[in-house]
Chains A and B, each alone.
Chain A
């Protein structure tokens, strides 16, 4: 299932992943291999299973059947905090900061409980680096309620980065941003990618990821509909037909 020309073994491998919620099949056997350094845009309409797949990879849900492997190791029965220590980090579509802690301490918690655990003083020192990356240094001593939504999304990102992930799962991190904020967010993401992380970004709109992702995976009703370079996927008749149709025409 790997992209042609790819030499290194996959960071992440999903094999026939199925996840049922009662009678609803949110994921109906998804297989996916992601190589180090890829930026994968995971797109699809509402209810296509994007968020469920992210939750399965992050260990929040166990798959009903199928396997998830990280660097070849089976991880689909591990708890999220173990997966975090193995190098998986994720952000939430709706930011969920620790409300009683300052912006700096939000990041410090991630550092204290990271792969190499730090004490509070060390964690607070290092937190500054990650706030720098996302441009929140000026707000380090603010409480989350005192910063705006975009800044809270950046805080999500800083916190995820502070776990030093090998695989970063971004859940609609670009949603609801104005053009200036979008440029800023993309700059931050490029910098993160330059630092060596493999990125999977969930987006509702395919247009948002085409300029940034190296590969696009389209999900539809819990199954993989298309997988390949953005320009190829964008022009895939099945994708245009099933998902992009209306929107793509409307925008071009």
Chain B
């Protein structure tokens, strides 16, 4: 069962790797490759965040630090040191892992650094890196860095095809890692830490080592994805890289999708990025932050368990949501509302709305409650 899902995941990734070839054959707009790249990017970033913050419960606002470190490591090494771009990617990942381990060594040694203090510490790390990038002429110095197109093997296709494929590779790696962790002894140790850390330690979970490993994996993946993002951004500035977009969006995405399952951040990333694109295309881009903030508040109040949990617990509602998605997509397509990606965004928003509106099953009417709860309990046993 587990191997089956993993194989399906890898098969899907392999198929997606050929989309640029399909584009060559059919000539659909390059825009869709860019759009897909951003989906991969957000999937990788929110999955990276979730391995630390979702699985262990240590809420981090420092995703921007890992991301920015990756962007600048690849950008600097490529343009200033002339190092082969494909070598800079793993270097960026490794540095992200090291930075994360340093933050972890500080935060996790002091047992009192839980909750909001941990969140603030990780945010402070982001600001510190931003200041360093701003001040150090070796990193940036404030003039910005233009990323030249690096040489790469021709079989990887056009430049946008390269970025698309690298984004896909990092997203796939992130999701596979999150999947493997969730189904491993390590993952169960992390969940035990999230639920009751002191008890986990007393029952034999080496909590310090596990938290260190989780934050390092998270930092590694976040920086790896940042290294790929450097190419897509093209022109780096400290303000553009180390702003609050990444740390805030990964939180919204993971909370919306669900933090207890590897699929949660994937679902959240797809829905939120599509929503944001839809707003931008409707000329409402400036309202994006307001909309995202409102969404975060509403989810935390009314659906803290996230979309994934709802899909799993309420099969009937999941079907209704799927129907709403298809109907809204087709309807906006027939209405000629924007382009194809907008139709899908409209569908996703409709499907999400159906999932979120109303009360979750656990609080539902008395008669239905027991069997649903029981089936949930059974499911929880097989994540």
Contact = CB atoms under 8 A, between A and B. Distances in A.
B203 A159 contact: yes
Q: Chain B, interface size: which category?
A: 20 to 34
A110 B204 contact: yes
B353 interface: no
A101 B373 CA distance: 13
Contact of A109 (B203, B206, B374, B377): B203
A138 to B, nearest CB: 12
A247 B198 CA distance: 34
A112 B185 contact: yes
Given A109-B188, A109-B192, A98 B199 contact: yes
A222 interface: no
Contacts of B208: 79
Contacts, number: 93
A110 B377 CA distance: 19
A96 B196 CA distance: 7
Contact of A100 (B204, B207, B260): B260
B380 A146 contact: no
A114 B196 contact: no
Nearest to A108: B188
Contact of B195 (A92, A100, A120): A100
Chain A: interface size category: 35 or more
A98 B192 contact: yes
Contact of A142 (B198, B206, B260, B377): B377
B191 interface: yes
Residue among B201, B205, B206, B208 facing the most chain A CB atoms (10 A cut-off): B201
A97 B191 CA distance: 12
Contacts of B380: 100-102, 105, 143
A132 interface: no
Contact of B188 (A60, A115, A120, A159): A120
Interface of A: 58, 60, 79-81, 84-85, 89-90, 92, 96-102, 104-105, 108-110, 112-115, 117, 119-120, 124, 141-143, 146, 159, 163
8 contacts: A60-B202, A89-B203, A102-B380, A112-B189, A115-B204, A120-B183, A141-B374, A141-B381
By Cβ-Cβ distance, the 9 closest A-B pairs, closest first, are: A113-B204, A98-B195, A84-B204, A141-B377, A110-B203, A80-B201, A80-B202, A96-B196, A96-B199
Given A98-B200, A113-B185, A143-B373, 8 more contacts: A81-B203, A85-B204, A96-B196, A98-B191, A98-B199, A102-B380, A104-B381, A113-B203
Interface of B: 183, 185, 188-189, 191-192, 194-196, 198-208, 260, 373-374, 377-378, 380-381
